[in-house]
Structure 1
Amino acid sequence: MDAQNMLELDRKVRRNAFVLMAANAVNGSILPIAVTLGGLAGVYLLGPDKSLATLPVTASTVGSALTTIPAAMLMSRIGRRRGFVLGAAPAVLGGLLATYALMQGTFALFVVALFLIGMSGAFNQQYRFAAIDAGSMAVRTKAMSLVMAGGIFSGILGPQAIILTNDWLSPIAFAGSFLAAAGLGFIGLLIAGFVRDVAPPREEPRAHGGPAGRPLREIARQPRFIAAVLCAISSYALMSLVMTAAPLAMIGCGLTQNDAALGIQWHVLAMFAPSFFTGRLIVRFGKDRIVIAGMALLTACAVVGLSGITLAHFWITLILLGLGWNFGFIGATSMLSETYRPEEKGRVQGLNDFLVLGSAAMASLLSGKLIGGPGWAFINMIVFPVVMVSLIALTWAFLLRRSTSREKA
């Protein structure tokens, strides 16, 4: 591609990034609603038994995990715009169904509703990949950061929607907020219609009709791929484990529902606010160092979580958790982009998100069991060994890469 065409493509990528950021801001705001209220609504519907209280939140993560590969493959065939529009529909349906389930007092139906919301979340995961479909490397990295920065607004919209709409359908607790979630999903669907495809939607076939590129097994054996996925899993699963437990832990320590909602708001803001400059940091310092910084922040989050149970302790824990997720997850996503060719992106991105969100789903379910058993302190202790495994994998991949470079030299 000549310089003039590349400049034009970069312009389209930048324009698309702003649309994707807006879609991420609105559709992403449904996650804080589901996370903050999913466990509390579970307690409301189940009674005092907390062991299954986080099952709705887990169902949301499972819905995302099971839909990641189909979402990625669907978009590789029909394009990003139609994929994002189609993917926003389950959030609308899930919000309406959750409202009805709460009004009827049906726990099982509420779990199904959050599963649908999770399905929509799998399509939201593709926003960051859509930002790097085309364009120069510098523009793609900054576009991904801009798209992820949409989470800043979702971090405000979601918790504020809880505070402003929770009494809409009083005396039915939480129903008004899930009705608002359905409305947000519909607005997100409309915004997604403005996304433009900047790369061919269909993978190029081989002569014998199979998909182009290397076998997925060969790609997944690369040390760089293994390290990237492990670091992404650690960042996301630890975030899911601690974040899911935090609202229940806060209520259990005598804090209010609004305290929990605002804590999640600070957490989501911390998750996405650094995205305005994470891309620049990656360009300047390298992906590996940013991932290591993320792991250090996750460790600091656990240290603060173990230090006390005041409102300040919970909020600082959640803020550090969000910052650690941002550096760890975005850095790992950038690392992953080094391991596949353009024609392989659909399968590799789908596999990555399936593994990451599948692990997050298990962490979410485990969170409910642990908060009702060993408790908040034990949940924070889990952070340390998981971070250690990630750092070992990252070091292993780095040493192998350096050794290979020396041999080639």
Structure 2
Amino acid sequence: MTSTAPAGTTARISDPGQAQRRILRVLVASQVLSGAGLAAGVTVGALLAQDMLGSTSLAGLPSALFTAGSALAALAVGRISQARGRRPGLATGYLTGAIGSAGVITAAVMGNPVLLFIALFVYGAGTATNLQARYAGADLAAPGHRARAVSTVLVATTLGGVAGPNLAAPTGDFAEHLGIPDLAGPFILSGAAYALAALVLALCLRPDPLLLARTVAQAGEADATPHPAVGDVADTTAGRGGVALGALVMVLTQLVMVAIMTMTPVHMHDHGQGTVASGLVIGIHIGAMYLPSPLTGWLVDRYGHMKIAAASGITLLAAGILAAVAPGDSVALLALALALLGLGWNFGLVSGTAIITDTVPLATRAKTQGLVDVSIAIAGATGGMASGIMVAATSYPALALTGGALSLALLPAVAATAYRR
């Protein structure tokens, strides 16, 4: 027999609007910390593997490994969240990322590439958790404000995400003072950042947004007066087609973004640029991935998912073309290309997340979101692994052009879904 909340329960539940404001503050704090953590692997992961192995063809392997690790973590975080709530799910994911960071440092000290690859796989849990946190921001949001709630969580990653790559050189110097290879320095920062993010969530993410959203929905059903601040589903008309479209948008944008981003530091290094220059470019890229989120959220809520998803494909095409034609020693043009790459990814992530959240009911939401993020992570792993192989076989411009052209596949998918509606 299905249990229902007694009449009048809604009045006794804490105001979801007030709880949402507190939850967003806690999520913002944890995202600022975790943003610094996720930047380490992006900035020096490929260079660390290249230094250990002496081969450019495997420089994309670290990105592939920590992205593959994020696939498993996304599934685990989604299932834990489904069963026990967002707080234990997210805290566990960040703690796992911190353990992976410690493993990378150990591998660098020992000069052990096998341990490095295993540790990078575990480190990927932090990336997955950073993305899963966006769903927690939308659990209690009103249907017409979900994209803005998602964007609030995403933009908080900007501070740490931009600062992290630009701390590559200082943390490298600090690591050398400790007798650790300089390229492992950023992972000292990432380990501390992920551990602090886990602590903040474990102590402060109360009430749990997903559990409270379920309670309010059940109470609303019992009272026959659903709470206006919490909607179970905003638009069920899209059904499975909506889930498929949202997943496709995020998978394709992740694939293109990771492929081009992963090989940009290596491309710059091959043209005489150091870690300071590549850290600056990646910092600008990560800023463009997250900083526009409030505007993107407003655009999605105002103009709809489809238009912003289409804009994602067009922006990624522009990024690929510019990255291909930019000279390898032009920090300014590569920074602009990577900024467009980050913006296109942001358009895709916010619009795709809103589509998924609006088409999946609370009863299965966290599990479905975890499965979708598994697909996103696999796409990222594929992009990271293939990027190094493709650059070794052809060139960085060829990779950038291929990624830009591939992003255009979003346009017919969006048009077909819009036509069916």
- The alignment's TM-score, normalised by the length of structure 2, stands at 0.86
Q: Distance in 2 between matches of 1:79 and 1:2?
A: 20
Q: Are the equivalent residues in 1 in contact too, given 2:140–2:213 (CA < 8 A)? A: no
Q: Match of 2:354? A: 334
Q: Match of 2:232? A: none
**What is the aligned-residue RMSD (CA, Å)?**
2.4
Q: Match of 1:275? A: 293
Evaluate the alpha carbon distance shift between residue 326 and residue 118 of structure 1 in structure 2; reply closer, same or farther with a 3 A threshold: same
Q: CA deviation at 1:85?
A: 1.9
Q: CA deviation at 1:142?
A: 2.3
Q: Which runs of 5+ in 2 are unaligned?
A: 1-7, 216-236
Q: Distance in 2 between matches of 1:58 and 1:141?
A: 29
Q: Are the equivalent residues in 1 in contact too, given 2:171–2:182 (CA < 8 A)? A: no
- Code of the residue aligned with 1:249 in structure 2: it is H
Residue number among 142, 164, 170 corresponding to 2:170 in the alignment:
164
SS of 2:320's equivalent in the other structure is helix
SS of 2:393's equivalent in the other structure is coil
Evaluate the alpha carbon distance shift between residue 317 and residue 6 of structure 1 in structure 2; reply closer, same or farther with a 3 A threshold: farther
Evaluate the alpha carbon distance shift between residue 157 and residue 359 of structure 1 in structure 2; reply closer, same or farther with a 3 A threshold: same
Deviations 1:176-209 (A, max 9, x none): 22122211122212211211203328989xxxxx
Please show how residues 340-379 of structure 1 align to structure 2 within 5 Å: 340-379=360-399
SS of 2:182's equivalent in the other structure is coil
**Which segment drifts farther, 123-132 or 138-147?**
138-147
Q: Are the equivalent residues in 2 in contact too, given 1:24–1:148 (CA < 8 A)? A: yes
Q: CA deviation at 1:139?
A: 4.2
Q: CA deviation at 1:37?
A: 0.5
Q: CA deviation at 1:3?
A: 9.6
Q: Distance in 1 between matches of 2:212 and 2:262?
A: 36
Q: Distance in 2 between matches of 1:329 and 1:135?
A: 17
Q: Match of 1:195? A: 205
Q: Distance in 1 between matches of 2:290 and 2:249?
A: 18
SS of 2:408's equivalent in the other structure is helix
Q: Match of 2:419? A: 399
Q: Distance in 1 between matches of 2:244 and 2:353?
A: 12
Q: Are the equivalent residues in 2 in contact too, given 1:292–1:391 (CA < 8 A)? A: yes
Q: Match of 2:267? A: 249
Q: Are the equivalent residues in 1 in contact too, given 2:239–2:359 (CA < 8 A)? A: no
Q: Are the equivalent residues in 2 in contact too, given 1:151–1:271 (CA < 8 A)? A: no
- Code of the residue aligned with 1:26 in structure 2: it is L
Q: Which runs of 5+ in 1 are unaligned?
A: 205-218, 402-409
Identical columns (%): 27
Q: Match of 1:213? A: none
Q: CA deviation at 1:146?
A: 0.6
Residue number among 44, 51, 64 corresponding to 1:44 in the alignment:
51
Evaluate the alpha carbon distance shift between residue 201 and residue 97 of structure 1 in structure 2; reply closer, same or farther with a 3 A threshold: farther
Asked if residue 304 in structure 1 is aligned to residue 314 in structure 2, the reply is: no
Asked if residue 104 in structure 1 is aligned to residue 115 in structure 2, the reply is: no
- The alignment's TM-score, normalised by the length of structure 1, stands at 0.89
Q: CA deviation at 1:157?
A: 2.8
The aligned length equals 387
Deviations 1:295-315 (A, max 9, x none): 211111012112222212211
SS of 1:134's equivalent in the other structure is coil
Q: Match of 2:183? A: 174
Q: Distance in 2 between matches of 1:347 and 1:14?
A: 24
